[in-house]
């Protein structure tokens, strides 16, 4: 199982949110590049990034920080937040990004996903952020009437290979991921599922590994010291 340490960008700094509430943002590191390099030094083989400002505005807002990390980091990076067009996807991939994550754009514009998957194949991932089982968009502020499983199946039918699933109510809470919902998704679609939201201890990583998850994203627990990145990587490889 692949372990993705997370960097959420807001105003050029690394922050963590609580249950997706932007008013709850807490700065956990001043320098995103230094943080990314430190993750790599600890053995990270992948990095997960979100442009939170971009998720709200619909445009890439932290591109300067993103560019620095892509340039100086020698491990694969996936990024979401504010990606709404084929041109932006192409620009990010040309800069060296390994995978682009579509969230709001995927729900509002399925034809964009079709075009992107046709052109860039497995370099496109879908982020499904759910509240009470329903997909939320626009920086998690708006809940749709589409159930997360139905949306995942729609994305699967388009040809999407990777889905990042986040239960918003668990995100940033250190209360453990939603194993039931994540496991159900993993059972019902053939896509690679990356679990996200609420990781609190190494036992969570071990359990997700046993559930045959493709990957796990760890954010707040790394910054708080509740999970050792080195140990998580070891467990992911077992």
pLDDT digits (tens, 9 = 90+) for 15-63: 988 887 777 788 988 899 999 999 999 999 999 999 999 888 888 999 9
The alpha carbon of 80 is separated from its chain's Cα centroid by a whole number of angstroms, namely 7
| pLDDT mean over 105-121 | 96
| pLDDT mean over 179-202 | 97
> What is the pLDDT confidence band of residue 140, given thresholds at 50, 70 and 90?
low
Rounded Cα distance, 15 and 9, in Å: 6
Which positions ≥6 away from 150 have C-beta within 8 Å? none
Q: Give the model's pLDDT for residue 21.
A: 77
Catalytic choice (129, 167, 171, 204): 129
Over residues 156-178, the pLDDT tens digits come to 999 999 999 999 989 888 999 99
Over residues 62-74, the pLDDT tens digits come to 999 999 999 999 9
Q: Give the model's pLDDT for residue 132.
A: 92
* DSSP string computed for 83-147: --SHHHHHHHHHHT-SEEEESHHHHH-HHHHHHHHHHHGGGEEEEEEEETTEEEETTTTEEEEEE
| CA-closest candidate to residue 13, choices 25, 31, 26, 39 | 31
Please give the structure tokens belonging to residue 20.
Answer: 């997706």
Place of tokens 């509430």: 21
Kindly tell me if the per-residue pLDDT of 143 is higher than 70.
yes
CATH no. for 2-237: 3.20.20.70
Kindly tell me if the per-residue pLDDT of 139 is higher than 60.
no
What's the CA dihedral at 82, 88, 90, 92 to 10 degrees? -60
Q: Give the model's pLDDT for residue 104.
A: 84
Counting residues of the chain whose pLDDT is more than 70, the rounded percentage is: 98
| pLDDT mean over 129-135 | 93
Does 150 qualify as catalytic in the annotation? Answer: no
Q: Which carries the bigger pLDDT value, residue 232 or residue 142? A: 232
Mean pLDDT over each residue of the chain, to the nearest integer: 94
- In a 3-state reduction of DSSP, which class is residue 154? helix
The pTM for the full model equals: 0.95
Q: Give the model's pLDDT for residue 121.
A: 97
| pLDDT mean over 147-158 | 97
Residues 149, 122 contacting (CB under 8 angstroms): no
Does 204 qualify as catalytic in the annotation? Answer: no
Q: Give the model's pLDDT for residue 19.
A: 81
Kindly tell me if the per-residue pLDDT of 138 is higher than 80.
no
> Where are the chain's structural domains?
2-237
What's the CA dihedral at 220, 224, 226, 227 to 10 degrees? 60
């Amino acid at each position: 199982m692949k372990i993705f340490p997370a960097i959420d960008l807001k105003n050029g700094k690394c922050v963590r949110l609580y249950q997706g509430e932007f008013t709850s943002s807490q700065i956990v590191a001043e320098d995103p590049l230094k943080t990314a390099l430190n993750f790599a030094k600890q053995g990270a083989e992948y990095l997960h990034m979100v442009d939170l400002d971009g998720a709200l505005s619909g445009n890439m807002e932290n591109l300067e920080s993103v560019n620095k990390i892509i340039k100086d980091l020698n491990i694969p990076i996936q990024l979401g937040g504010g990606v709404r067009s084929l041109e932006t996807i192409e620009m990010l991939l040309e800069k060296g990004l390994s995978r682009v994550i579509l969230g709001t754009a995927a729900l509002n514009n399925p034809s964009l996903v079709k075009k992107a998957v046709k052109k860039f194949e497995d370099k496109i991932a879908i982020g499904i952020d759910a509240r009470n089982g329903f997909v939320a968009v626009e920086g998690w502020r708006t809940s749709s009437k589409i159930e997360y499983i139905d949306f995942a199946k729609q994305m699967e039918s388009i040809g999407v290979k990777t889905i990042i699933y986040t239960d918003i109510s668990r995100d940033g809470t250190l209360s453990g991921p939603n194993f039931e919902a994540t496991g159900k998704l993993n059972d019902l679609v053939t896509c690679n599922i990356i679990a996200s939201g609420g990781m609190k201890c190494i036992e969570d990583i071990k359990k997700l590994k046993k559930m045959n998850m493709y990957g796990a994203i760890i954010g707040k627990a790394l910054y708080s010291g509740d999970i050792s990145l080195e140990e998580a990587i070891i467990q992911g490889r077992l």
